[in-house]
Amino acid sequence: MDPVSNAPHLANSPVAATSGGPPLSRYLAFGVLTVAGLAADLLTKAWLFSWPGGLGHIYWLIPDYVGLQTSLNEGALFGIGQGAVSLFAALSLAAALAIPVWLFAFRAANDWWLTITLGTVMGGVLGNLYDRLGLSGLRWGPADPRAGEPVYAVRDWILLQLGDAWRWPNFNIADSLLVVGAAALFLRAWLEPASPASPSRGSDALTEEPSPDLPN
């Protein structure tokens, strides 16, 4: 077969599509989702923390169930690991570096699902990393032993509870992006069909070897 005439077929094959780097659309999708998630998180934090009432004041949307309450979290997602701000900042920074490397250097971005999911996760990672690095501009108040020092803690403001019986730790949009992204990755891993086992070298040889002619 003429290799030139066969070129269009090879260009459209799955192997050719995945052998090169991710297309520009993946870079754009990842960037837009990351920037949109980060902007939504930082803008809502800045807006809620500028409201009168001070830290801890509750503005009820549905009394005793859903409200807006500013709080500071020196731990990880949903208050886990309080006090380990430096550790979680280092982990967030590592994730912020690893995600784009895996997507684009290792070509995971050829998969649309991973591109969208990790763009969502990246927005959440950067939103909380911004706070853990003390970039929010907040300083501890006079009631805290660290009065006047920069706050290295995540700003949370979403309150969910069931009266006095149950209360979920306050969270923010970055936390929500991380949870949604992690759930999407888990769903993908669960739904992804197992790759069929490739036939062995010996079986290929047996099936491809022509049968000998029988004597008349």
Q: What is the mean pLDDT of each run of 10 residues along the chain (216 residues)?
A: 43 45 95 98 97 93 96 85 90 97 96 96 98 96 93 97 92 96 92 57 44 51
In contact, 159 and 63? CB cutoff 8 Å: no
* pLDDT recorded at residue 210: 52
The catalytic residue among 156, 164, 204, 213 is: 156
Name the pTM for this structure. Answer: 0.79
Concerning whether 175 is annotated as a catalytic residue, the answer is yes
Q: What is the pLDDT of residue 82?
A: 87
The catalytic residue among 64, 175, 204, 213 is 175
Q: Are 34 and 126 in contact (CB under 8 A)?
A: yes
Amino acid letter, 128:
N
DSSP three-state, residue 6: coil
In sequence order, the β-bridge partners of residue 212 are none
For the question of residue 156 being annotated catalytic, the response is: yes
| Runs of H (alpha helix) within 12-141 | 14-19, 24-49, 85-100, 112-132
- What secondary structure does DSSP assign to 144-202, as a single string? STTTTSBP-SEEEEEEEEETTTEEEEEE-HHHHHHHHHHHHHHHHHHHSPPPPPPPPHH
Residues 81, 194 contacting (CB under 8 angstroms)? no
For residue 100, the model assigns a pLDDT of 97
